[in-house]
Chains A and B, each alone.
Chain A
């Protein structure tokens, strides 16, 4: 199973840039890019911060996909 996310879609829907979202949750723009490209798996703390900031349930933002 691969951990995937809807971060890019949800962020764009909310009209936020990677820079703004990063600043809101206290991480760099590069970290947001890495998460959106599935290169980096965030910690539970960051995942919850992202979900809270984007006003979405964490399980809607991050989900498992069969390989």
Chain B
């Protein structure tokens, strides 16, 4: 299966999203019950993410440029594929935003459970911290990014 430069750059993005999710998301998952200020090594983790991202893309695109020296033309087909895949990404963002708002609202509503039942354990299980929100947002971003890029890749292979 021969891949074009554009297809490989999409694969680079997909790999980045998956690797990012596998390496960095567990950290946010483990700390989701804390608040952001209390998270151990948050600043270091953010710096690590930025450095890793810059290094990854610099290396990946440098290799790509060396392997495909010829500059590829960007034309109307690329615009059509991009608009279709970004549209899907946008719809997924919109949909997940509604789900997310509903989730947050349900968490807040469940504070009433404590008032009604007085059960502290039950109340704690429905607590939502800012770190928890960050974790959910990052999961959604990674997931939507992968879906969008996969769809873009599929369109490049079939259109």
The 8 A CB mask of B83-108 against A (1 = contact, 0 = none) is 00000000000000000000000000
Closest to A27 in B: B75
Number of interface residues of B (CB under 8 A): 12
Tell me if A22 and B159 are in contact (CB < 8 A). no
CB proximity of B81 to chain A, nearest CB, Å: 9
Whether, in the assembled complex, A40 has its beta carbon less than 8 Å from a beta carbon of chain B, the answer is yes
Residues of A within 8 A of B159 (CB): 34, 39-40
The 8 A CB mask of A33-54 against B (1 = contact, 0 = none) is 0100001101101100000000
Number of interface residues of A (CB under 8 A): 14
Tell me if B158 and A28 are in contact (CB < 8 A). no
B positions within 8 Å CB-CB of A: 4, 72-78, 80, 156, 158-159
Q: How far is the CA of A28 from the CA of B76 in the complex (A)?
A: 10
Tell me if B76 and A30 are in contact (CB < 8 A). no
A positions within 8 Å CB-CB of B: 22-23, 26-28, 30-31, 34, 39-40, 42-43, 45-46
Looking at A26, A28, A34, A46, the one whose CB has the most chain B CB atoms below 10 A away is: A28
Closest to B156 in A: A30
Which of the residues A27, A34, A40, A46 comes within 8 Å of B73, measured between beta carbons?
A: A27
Q: How far is the CA of A39 from the CA of B73 in the complex (A)?
A: 19
Residues of A within 8 A of B80 (CB): 40
Tell me if A26 and B73 are in contact (CB < 8 A). yes
Tell me if A46 and B76 are in contact (CB < 8 A). yes
Residues of A within 8 A of B158 (CB): 39
CB proximity of B72 to chain A, nearest CB, Å: 6
Tell me if B75 and A34 are in contact (CB < 8 A). no
Q: How far is the CA of A39 from the CA of B129 in the complex (A)?
A: 49
